[in-house]
Amino acid sequence: MRRIHVIGIGAGDPDFVTAQAVSALNDTQVFFAMDKGPRRGAADDLVAVRKLICDRFITEPRYRFVELVDPPRAAAGDAPGYRQVVADWHAERARIWAAAIETELGPDGVGAFLAWGDPSLYDSTLRILDKVGEHVDFEYDVIPGITAIQVLTARHRIPLNDVGEPVLITTGRQLREHGLTGSAVVMLDADCSFQQCPPQTRIWWGAYLGTPDELLYAGTVGEIGDEIVAARAEARTRHGWIMDTYLLRSAD
Ligand X SMILES: C[S@@+](CC[C@H](N)C(=O)[O-])C[C@H]1O[C@@H](n2cnc3c(N)ncnc32)[C@H](O)[C@@H]1O
Residue numbers at the binding site for ligand X (CB under 6 A)? 11-12, 116-118, 121-123, 147-148, 187-188, 206-210, 243-245
Nearer to ligand X, 31 or 105 (CB): 31
Query: Which residue's CB atom is positioned nearest to ligand X?
Result: 117
Which amino acid, one-letter code, is at 121? L
Cα separation, 49 vs 120, in Å, equals 20
Of residues 138 and 205, the one with the C-beta less far from ligand X: 205
Asked if residues 143 and 24 have their Cβ atoms less than 8 Å apart, the reply is yes
d(CA 100, CA 103): 5
Least separation in angstroms between CB 102 and ligand X: 27
Identify residue 192 by its one-letter amino acid code. Answer: C
Minimal distance, residue 46 CB to ligand X, in Å = 9
* CB nearer to ligand X: pick between 171 and 220: 171
Residue 115 φ then ψ, to 5°: -105, 135
In whole angstroms, the minimum distance from the beta carbon of 109 to ligand X comes to 26
Q: Of the two residues 102 and 213, which places its CB atom closer to ligand X in the complex?
A: 213
The distance of Cα 184 from the centroid of its chain, to the nearest Å, equals: 17
What is the closest distance, in whole angstroms, from the C-beta atom of residue 215 to ligand X in the complex? 9
Do the beta carbons of residue 172 and residue 206 sit within 8 Å?
no
